């Protein structure tokens, strides 16, 4: 999905720094987006949970672009479908690191760059399970719900400084996070009867990053094929 967010922002005129654990895939995506959009794309291979992640992003941005307008926190790890009995407390840590503590530390480092610009934006890629957790996959559920709380707290502190912070909560989207063995279960849970496409989530990210969303802060845009509305 990260590639789709980068592409959507580049198509709307942004130069983009893309960061991920997986350098090979990142390079290919960045080159293709630059070729397709004519925008500049840079990459940095990093682990969002490492203590120097924010500094590495900041120095790459300062070297390449000299300014920062939009941050999209997209990194995530797959849920495991396990019950409480199957989930010792230490199993929650990686989910909290990737979804909450890493993005918190990175936001802390990057905030001065956003504050220096005219209209900074942060978009968290959350989940329908952050909005309404199911009783399994406790690391994923707890971390995504906590991420929404963090998003609102940050939005509250920084809205008066013109930095607008929101989230997109996707339902099931056709990425490798929905492997073949759970594909049918995921589709059955979407009232629209299909998985979302990464570009449909990226369109919401691009909206929240745009001038059209200039009066929105602390909100979660649910893009889930009708999953969290009552069925008729």
Ligand X SMILES: NC(=O)c1ccc[n+]([C@@H]2O[C@H](COP(=O)([O-])OP(=O)(O)OC[C@H]3O[C@@H](n4cnc5c(N)ncnc54)[C@H](O)[C@@H]3O)[C@@H](O)[C@H]2O)c1
Pick 166 or 175: Cβ nearer ligand X: 175
Q: Which range binds ligand X by CB under 6 A, 30-38, 106-114, 176-184, 205-213? A: 176-184
> What CA–CA distances, in Å, run from 225 to 168, 184, 191, 213?
13, 15, 6, 21
Helix (H, G, I), strand (E, B) or coil at 196: strand
Nearer to ligand X, 202 or 232 (CB): 202
Interface with ligand X, residue 170, by CB under 6 A:
yes
Q: Shortest Cβ contact with ligand X: which residue? A: 76
Among 15, 27, 42, 47, binds ligand X (CB under 6 A): 47
Q: Is 138 among the residues known to form the active site?
A: no
Q: Which is nearer to ligand X, 139 or 170 (CB)?
A: 170
49 or 166, CB closer to ligand X? 49
Q: Which of 104, 138, 140, 183 is catalytic?
A: 140
Phi-psi region of 18 (alpha: psi -120 to 50; beta: other; left: phi over 0): beta
Q: Are 133 and 148 in contact (CB under 8 A)?
A: no
Nearest to 43 by CA among 55, 57, 53: 57
20 scored as a contact of ligand X (CB under 6 A): yes
Name the minimum Å distance from CB 141 to ligand X: 11
Give the integer Cα–Cα distance in Å for 35 and 55. Answer: 28
Q: Do 85 and 29 form a contact (C-beta atoms < 8 A)? A: no
Residues 113-142 within binding reach of ligand X (CB under 6 A)? 125, 127
Q: Is 49 in the site for ligand X (CB under 6 A)?
A: yes
**Burial zone of 58 (CB within 10 Å; 0-12 exposed, 13-18 middle, 19+ buried):** middle
Binding-site member from 66, 176, 230, 232 for ligand X (CB under 6 A)? 176
Give CA separation, 116 vs 15, 47, 66, 150, 155, in Å. 17, 26, 11, 22, 17
Q: Contact between 17 and ligand X (CB under 6 A)?
A: no
Total interface residues for ligand X by CB under 6 A = 22
User: Binding residue for ligand X (CB under 6 A) from 9, 16, 61, 98?
Assistant: 98
Q: Is 181 in the site for ligand X (CB under 6 A)?
A: no
Q: How far is CA 169 from CA 65, 68, 94, 133, 156, in A?
A: 29, 24, 20, 12, 19
Q: Interface mask (CB under 6 A) for ligand X, residues 52-91, using x and -? A: ----------------------xxxx--------------
What number of other Cβ atoms are within 10 A of residue 190's Cβ? 18
The residues that are catalytic are 140
Residues that bind ligand X (CB under 6 A): 1-2, 20-22, 47-49, 74-77, 98, 125, 127, 170, 172-173, 175-178
């Amino acid at each position: 999905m990260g590639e789709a967010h980068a592409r959507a922002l580049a198509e709307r005129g942004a130069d983009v720094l893309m960061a991920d654990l997986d350098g090979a895939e990142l390079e290919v995506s960045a080159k293709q987006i630059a070729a397709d959009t004519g925008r500049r794309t840079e990459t940095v291979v990093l682990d969002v949970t490492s203590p120097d992640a924010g500094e590495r992003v900041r120095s790459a941005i300062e070297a390449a672009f000299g300014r920062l307008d939009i941050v999209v926190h997209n990194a995530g790890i797959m849920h495991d479908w396990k019950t409480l009995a199957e989930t010792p407390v230490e199993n929650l840590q990686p989910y909290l690191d990737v979804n909450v503590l890493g993005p918190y530390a990175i936001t802390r480092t990057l905030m001065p760059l956003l504050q220096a610009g005219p209209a900074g934006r942060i978009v968290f890629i959350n989940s329908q399970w952050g909005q309404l957790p199911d009783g399994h996959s406790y690391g994923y559920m707890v971390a995504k719900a906590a991420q929404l709380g963090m998003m609102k707290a940050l939005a509250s502190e920084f809205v008066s400084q013109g930095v607008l912070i929101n989230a997109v909560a996707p339902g099931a989207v056709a990425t490798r996070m929905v492997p073949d063995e759970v594909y049918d279960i995921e589709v059955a849970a979407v009232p629209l009867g299909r998985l979302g496409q990464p570009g449909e989530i990226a369109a919401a990210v691009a909206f929240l990053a745009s001038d059209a969303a200039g009066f929105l802060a602390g909100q979660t845009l649910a893009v889930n094929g009708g999953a969290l509305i009552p069925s008729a």
